[in-house]
Structure 1
Amino acid sequence: MYAQSNCFPGDTMQRWQEAGSMLSATLKNYLDSCCNLETAHLHDNARSTDLVSRIDSALDSLHVTLAQQLTQSRSTLARTRNRSASTLCRLSKEILTEILLDVIYVPTKHERKFKIEMGSRVQMIYWRLHALGLVCSVWRNVAVNCQSAWRVFPFMDCEELSNKPLTKDLSLQRGANRLYLSAIRSRSWERLKGLEMVVEHVHRFSSADIRSVEHTDLKQILSLFLESKHPIALSHLSIAHTLQPYLDSVFYYPDTSVPELSDYLVLKDSPAQTRLGEILQSLSVFCVSGAVFIHWDMITFSTRLTELCLHQITLGYDSDLLKFLRAASTARELRDLKIIAVRTITDPIPPLSYPKLSFPKLQTVLLGELAYNVLAVVLASIPPGTHRLSLLLGGRCLAFDLDRETQLPFDTRMFCDLFKKYTVDTLILDESLKSFLGALKLGALDAGAQDTQDAELGVEKG
């Protein structure tokens, strides 16, 4: 816990005390000599010119040096005294470092409650880091020498950080390896700039969170990794095509439209596609959000991947959703799967059955704000097992996602029948769905899940 208090050896302290006594005696002798010089000068003015020259020399050099050294020794003693008296200085470097990292990285209750967005979180991290460095020299030294405190590299367009290139430089200088790239572009009217300072350091990043309102920015930033001459070893990757602020919502439902070839991050069968597949091999966490289109039939994950999230995107047809699920099943160590606000268009001729995919290590599946056809494909492709299934359902689960030319009637009994084969551990219905189902139909849904062991029926307030 505490560092040893007797950090000064006894002989060092003794030498300091002896030197102080000698200094005091020497200064007393020097003072006496000055007084004697004054007395002698009163009786002999013959050598006054020589005396003035010698006194000027002493005042300009010796006394200046003595004053500087005494001031420095006083400052050193005061600093030593304060450190010895402070409880903070008795804490080990490891404990101080842990406190520092908790202060700058751990969200407060307020931040957890209101889910502060990533850009503001990065600003807070650096505000706290610099504020701690201004408290005292102890915290400043801990902050400067703690590599983990500088690992967030802010590539953002917010005024607080974009106009401070020193912040980026310090991150590259002090963060060592395993840097975290936080690339957030929320202004579509501004030209992307500053990439050149990242090019030679891309291989040092172990995590990347890339968010932009423009597809071109996403592709440009991702190209840093795809075109790097150095091996890339990302463990966490999040790519998000974000919405304008007035549209941004966790459960915003994207328009139904099949992506064009030009919409994809990389061209199929291109060197960039091969490189992307190689980068995904090292991931343990992969999140895709918004209109970020990937050729899922070209992707194979490794055993490193444990968490996969697909959010707020139109994949195309139900068959394209199957491509994603097949890719997910190649991650044999996958534990957590989240599919939220994902749309697919019902195939004109749905298959008679869906393939049963194997997820041997799956622990949790979260499905939220999905249309009936998406729910049906996912639940049919992931067989019941030991994993926990959580459903967040709204009114869209009572309809198909269709193209404009197709009409397909929907019977709410299909919705209730869907869950007869599955254990639903957590079921949350929004107000609109609860009102629509009514008491009888809600009872039918509950009966459909009557074989569950730990089902919860909740209502989320709109």
Structure 2
Amino acid sequence: MTTPNQSASAMKTWEEASALFLSAFDAYALASAYLGAESSISGADPGEFVLKIDSILETVDTAILNQLPKISTNLKKQRNKLVSPTFRLPEEVLSEIFRIFVFDPSLDATIPLDMEASVRLIYSRLGTLCTVSSTWRDILNARGRFWSVIPMIEVRSTDPITRLEPYERSFHNARDAPLHLAATLDHHTYKDTLKAISEHGLRLRTANFMINYINLKLARGFIKKLMRYNIGVFSELSIMHYYVPYVAPCDNSDYDGYNDYNNYEPEPGLPTEDDFIFPHDSPEHTSFAQFLGSLTAFRISNVLFHWDNIAFSSRLVELRMQEVNLGYDDAIILFLKALSSASQLRDLKIIAVDTFHKPNTTIRVDTHSITFDDFSFTSLVLSFNCKITRINKLDDDDDVININPNFLEDAEADIQSADMNIANNNNGPTDPMELWDALGPIQVETLRLPGTFTNDLPPQIRKAMRAMPGLLTLEVENVDFTASPDEHGQHCHSDALNRSNKFESDPKANHSQHSKSFI
């Protein structure tokens, strides 16, 4: 670290050198002017005189013309740095500010972004910081964590990823930092993604895959590649399976069918063996079951696995399962058995999970094999096709429940599938009290009820409040609470809410909105 005495000495040396330079330059200018007078060259050997002038011009003028602009630029940068308000901030503080700006999605996103949009936003913000000053650019380039998200996505002509750094440069700039792979698996990216996993698999800590329906077989190859490396250090896996409908040109002039590549839309119905990532009795399924045991977070959307023989470990703290067709109803038992093995689970999201009823079948469950003794959720989200019910922690300080009881009027009302026996399945709205009975008493401090409630729902709200004796804050919208007793002739109240005397009803309050994004 430079001391004040060293800074003063350096400044004095620079000032003295500047004075000497100006004095020498003045003398050089006068001598050059005198040399240009005809009287000074009379009688001189022209050839020798020309050689000396050329030599001096080459050495002196070249040195001045090349070096002086660079020196001036460096001095101006130093000057600007000194007057900058951020100059007095240590690099560690600036680095943390940059980290929040680059990676915090809440800065300018009102709803969660999908994976590709998130990656592009990260690199756009990196580009913004790098163009501010060379000092900021040096801080970013010296810290590998800013480049640890590897963007294996299809690039565009105006893409900030292309403009700033290709993915190979990201590998280089990341240095020794753990890597986080963000990949869209299609015919544009699969070769580069496979190469990245092969060459840098040991450095990967997380992976987020978005897979087109037509490329499910490719996804199997990538997951097998991941499983070859040290599963003890790989921590998070996210897989989203999607389809993109093909929109033909209006005149159909350029449409050649494309083998209906992007025109494939899955039909609802029971899943077949080909719909699963790995066949049930395959060695890959066994290896994948072991691989899951090392994860701390596992997120899937529209991806099917066989849940028997799956056992999580105490490392798993987050599980998200969205838009998954498990098959017949008894398949949920296998999932619950796997879920019960995650003893330290804290964040559970189960959204739009389908099962099919098998008539004349009785499901027998060994209740001793499914236990949830020590679960303590910080975030729990449940969402159903016939009814959307969300329970979610909205901040880090309080346990908050957010419930949206809006019914989908025609959700799955006329579902058709390969199993014609389910044609008469009743998919109407279900009693939300079944949810409370299943969850048991819920220890929360804040209950938020956004949306418009029908007239018959206040009694159900009162029942929900009974399940939460520790409730401190209730936030509602458009609910007509009357003084009439409930069906048991008693008024409902929360002891904790009564003690705190804190009741909020603000229709303008901000509420978390459900998003189909999967990151």
Comparing 62-71 with 451-460, greater Cα deviation is found at 451-460
Q: Give, in whole Å, the separation in 1 of the partners of 2:64 and 2:47.
A: 25
* Aligned pairs (5 A) from 1:417-456: 419-420=436-437, 422-423=440-441, 439=456, 442=457, 445-446=460-461, 449=464, 451-452=466-467, 453=469, 454=471
SS at match of 1:135: coil
Instruction: Give the stretch that moved more between structures: 395-404 or 236-245.
Output: 395-404
Unpaired runs of 5+ residues, structure 1, are 247-253, 376-386
Report the alpha carbon displacement of residue 296 of structure 1 after superposing the two structures with TM.
1.3
Identify the residue that residue 150 of structure 1 maps to in structure 2.
Answer: 147
Distance 2:44 2:278 in 1: 97
Alignment of 1:85-234 (within 5 A): 85-108=83-106, 110-111=108-109, 113-159=110-156, 160-161=158-159, 164=162, 166-176=165-175, 177-185=177-185, 192-198=190-196, 199-214=198-213, 215-226=216-227, 228-229=228-229, 233-234=233-234
In the alignment, residue 372 of structure 2 is paired with which amino acid?
A: S
CA offsets per residue over residues 314-336 of structure 1, 9 Å max, x none?
11122211111111111111112
Q: Does 1:289 align with 2:301?
A: yes
Structural mapping, 1:43-442, within 5 Å: 44-108=42-106, 110-111=108-109, 113-159=110-156, 160-161=158-159, 164=162, 166-176=165-175, 177-185=177-185, 192-198=190-196, 199-214=198-213, 215-226=216-227, 228-229=228-229, 233-244=233-244, 257-290=269-302, 292-348=303-359, 349-351=361-363, 355=367, 356-363=370-377, 364-370=379-385, 394=407, 403-405=419-421, 416=433, 419-420=436-437, 422-423=440-441, 439=456, 442=457
Residue identity matched to 2:332: L
Cα distance, 1:123 vs structure 2: 1.2
Q: Return 451-460 or 280-289, whichever deviates more.
A: 451-460
- Give, as a single letter, the amino acid of the residue that structure 2 aligns with 1:350: T
- Structure 1 match to 2:508: none
Residues paired across the two proteins, number: 430
Letter in 2 for 1:142: I
Q: Is the 8 A contact 1:423 1:449 kept in 2?
A: no
Q: For the Cα contact (< 8 Å) 1:211–1:218, is it kept in 2?
A: no
Structure 2 length-normalised TM: 0.70
- The TM-score normalised by the length of structure 1 is 0.78
Q: Which amino acid aligns with 1:341?
A: A
**Aligned with 1:157: secondary structure?**
coil
1:15 pairs with 6, 13, 16, which one? 13
**Paired amino acid for 2:384:** E
- d(CA) in 2 for partners of 1:324, 1:418: 18
- 2-structure distance, mates of 1:202, 1:359: 36
Structure 1: which amino acid aligns with 2:114? Answer: E
Aligned partners of 2:150 and 2:182 also within 8 Å: yes
Question: Which whole-Å deviations, capped at 9, do the CAs of 1:425-447 have from their partners, x for residues lacking one?
Answer: 6586987xx66xx73xx466456
Q: Structure 2 counterpart of 1:233, which letter?
A: V
The CA distance in 2 between the partners of 1:191 and 1:103, in whole Å, is 28
SS in 2 for 1:301: coil
Question: How far apart are 1:37 and its partner, in Å?
Answer: 4.9
**1:306 and 1:7 mapped to 2: Cα distance?**
54
Query: How far 1:197 sits from its partner (Å)?
Result: 3.0
* Structure 2 counterpart SS, 1:207: strand
Partner of 1:383: none
Asked whether the equivalents of residues 420 and 449 of structure 1 are also in contact (C-alpha less than 8 Å), the reply is no
- How far the C-alpha of 1:92 sits from its partner, in A, is 1.7
Kept in 2: contact 1:152–1:180 (CA 8 A): yes
Identify if the C-alpha distance between structure 1 residues 428 and 220 changes in structure 2 by more than 3 Å, giving closer, same or farther. Answer: farther
Task: Give distance in 2, aligned partners of 1:207 and 1:413.
Answer: 38
> Larger deviation: 399-408 or 76-85?
399-408
| Structure 2 portions without partners, runs of 5+ | 247-265, 390-398, 479-510, 515-519
TM-superposed CA distance for 1:413, in Å, is 9.0
Q: How far 1:391 moved relative to its partner? A: 5.8
The one-letter code of the counterpart of 1:239 is: I
